[in-house]
Amino acid sequence: MSEFVPASRVSRIKSSPSVAAAARVRELKAEGRRILDLTVGEPDFDTPAHIKAAAVDAIGRGETKYTSVTGTAPLQHAILQSLEARTGLRYGTDEITIGGGAKQVIFTAFMASLNEGDEVIVPAPYWVSYPDMVLANEGTPVIVPCGADTGFKLTPDALAAAITERTKWLILNTPSNPTGAVYSPDELRALADVLVHAPGVYVLTDEIYDQIYFGQGRLAGLAEVAPELKDRILMVNGVSKAYAMTGWRLGYGAGPAPLVAAMNKLQSQISSCPSSVSQAAAAAALSGDQSFVRESVEVYRERRDRAVAALNAVSGLSCTTPDGAFYAYVNCGGVIGKTTPDGTVIINDEDFTLYLLDAAGVAVIQGSAYGLGPYFRISYATSLAVIEESIAAIDKAVQALS
């Protein structure tokens, strides 16, 4: 029997660190260990009842068949209405694409647009999948470090320096995973002023956390702040985070019709269409009662405040207060170089996260997975009890270092 050799695109990428961390937690729990899990970027709330009821009703009506590649008419309408209500921008049905989660939409966008050697600017810290999705589609990720001194945000000067004649995309994630950083309208306008002079550069704005925002009023996006760039912006969103619908796998994108047409052409050959039942649920989520979103954001706000205060009280750790999403990005530079009780020297943030897992039974994800150390990410999309117990265990483990 001949040995299987995977395609080169597979060898170019690595498995998702967040998926790997979640798998490791499941393994340890299966072995009988009690693990406090702060890795998963998934709301701990149940999907709201009216959304689940819409799915059940759709099944009862027999809406269990293939749909159009571009989605059902009710979902298209709900997306367009939601976008206009939240951003003031109007899109046509030929300018939206619907996929099996925002992740698939992003991947398909790169598949539809990248040729070998095309560059994609990826500000770091970044969501772990961005660079690998670029690599899988023949592109070249250009990582631009954005440290705490800039609020973990890309500056106009850094953007201008990163753009070359091969730049095809800029990825802009706001609110950010992993930092919770949010770009203000003025910061977006300053980036737009650079992009105006780079007409070949498209912008993928990942706005999956846009409704989980702790500031005043509504969060503005790049297309809203700089409408002159609208024909170069693919705005990606979905229902997973705001509506606690991660398992329903439904995301969407809004952008220029030629790009959307290419993406939908690929979609027709990949999965034909998203689940018809999930589409019915997503339509209900976007067009129905929004009180769940408002109430869950207030719960996240309380968890954020308690988590940040507790983490900043741990010697050697510090973190800024995130403005959105449900993550905190914790600087652990103060423990690098210290020694564990068994004599192991902590060399980097990955060593520290492994130490926390072993000594404290707390699972977090190392900052190097997001392109910037020495940090680690926690998710506070879990109960206050788990958050407080976890940070107390982290504190105890840190005190044991010498």
Query: What gap in Å lies between CA 279 and CA 98, rounded to an integer?
Result: 9
Query: What gap in Å lies between CA 328 and CA 241, rounded to an integer?
Result: 16
Task: Kindly indicate the confidence band of residue 28, based on its pLDDT and cuts at 50, 70 and 90.
Answer: confident
Q: Per-residue pLDDT for 126 more than 90?
A: yes
DSSP 333: G
Buried/exposed 293-332: b ≥16 CB within 10 Å, e otherwise: beebbebbeebbeebbebbeebebbbbbebbbbbbbbbbb
Q: What angle do CA 19, 390, 147 make, to 5 degrees?
A: 65
Domains of the chain: 8-46+292-399 (3.90.1150.10), 63-287 (3.40.640.10)
Q: Give the pLDDT confidence score for residue 24 in this predicted structure.
A: 76
Encoded tokens for 240 = 């997973």
DSSP 242: T
Cβ atoms of 250 and 278 within 8 Å: the answer is yes
Q: Per-residue pLDDT for 156 more than 70?
A: yes
pLDDT for 224-268, tens place per residue?
Answer: 999 999 999 999 999 999 999 999 999 999 999 999 999 999 999
pLDDT for 96-116, tens place per residue?
Answer: 999 999 999 999 999 999 999
Q: Give the pLDDT confidence score for residue 166 in this predicted structure.
A: 98
Task: Kindly indicate the confidence band of residue 32, based on its pLDDT and cuts at 50, 70 and 90.
Answer: confident
Q: Give the pLDDT confidence score for residue 39 in this predicted structure.
A: 92
pLDDT for 62-72, tens place per residue?
Answer: 999 999 999 99
Cβ atoms of 55 and 288 within 8 Å: the answer is no
Q: Give the pLDDT confidence score for residue 317 in this predicted structure.
A: 98
Q: Per-residue pLDDT for 17 more than 90?
A: no
Stronger pLDDT, 27 or 187, i.e. the higher one: 187
Stronger pLDDT, 218 or 382, i.e. the higher one: 382
Q: What are phi and psi of 238, to 5 degrees?
A: 180, -170
Q: Give the pLDDT confidence score for residue 230 in this predicted structure.
A: 96
Q: Per-residue pLDDT for 16 more than 90?
A: no
The stretch 126-148 carries a mean pLDDT of 97
In degrees to the nearest 10, what's the CA dihedral of 90, 203, 39, 294? -20
- Count of CB atoms situated within 10 Å of the CB of 155: 18
Q: Give the pLDDT confidence score for residue 355 in this predicted structure.
A: 94
Q: Give the pLDDT confidence score for residue 40 in this predicted structure.
A: 87
The stretch 187-195 carries a mean pLDDT of 98
- Write down the residue that tokens 């293939």 correspond to: 66
pLDDT for 192-224, tens place per residue?
Answer: 999 999 999 999 999 999 999 999 888 999 999
- Count of CB atoms situated within 10 Å of the CB of 289: 11
What do you get for the CA distance between the two ends of the chain, in Å?
54
Closest CA to 90 of 252, 227, 236: 227
Encoded tokens for 334 = 């103060």
The stretch 145-158 carries a mean pLDDT of 98
Cβ atoms of 325 and 209 within 8 Å: the answer is yes
Q: Give the pLDDT confidence score for residue 29 in this predicted structure.
A: 79
Q: Give the pLDDT confidence score for residue 237 in this predicted structure.
A: 98
- What single-letter amino acid sits at 65? K
Q: Per-residue pLDDT for 20 more than 80?
A: no
β-pair partners for 143: 122
Q: Give the pLDDT confidence score for residue 340 in this predicted structure.
A: 97
Q: Give the pLDDT confidence score for residue 8 in this predicted structure.
A: 84
DSSP letter string, 245-260: -GGG--EEEE--HHHH
The mean predicted confidence, pLDDT, of the chain is 95
Stronger pLDDT, 213 or 30, i.e. the higher one: 213
pLDDT for 272-296, tens place per residue?
Answer: 999 999 999 999 999 999 999 999 9
Q: What percent of the chain has pLDDT over 70?
A: 99
Q: Give the pLDDT confidence score for residue 395 in this predicted structure.
A: 98
Query: What gap in Å lies between CA 322 and CA 328, rounded to an integer?
Result: 6
The stretch 140-154 carries a mean pLDDT of 98
Query: What gap in Å lies between CA 320 and CA 305, rounded to an integer?
Result: 11
pLDDT for 228-238, tens place per residue?
Answer: 999 999 999 99
Task: Return all residues near 49 (Cβ < 8 A) that are at least 6 apart.
Answer: none
Q: Give the pLDDT confidence score for residue 132 in this predicted structure.
A: 96
Task: Kindly indicate the confidence band of residue 18, based on its pLDDT and cuts at 50, 70 and 90.
Answer: low
The stretch 394-398 carries a mean pLDDT of 98
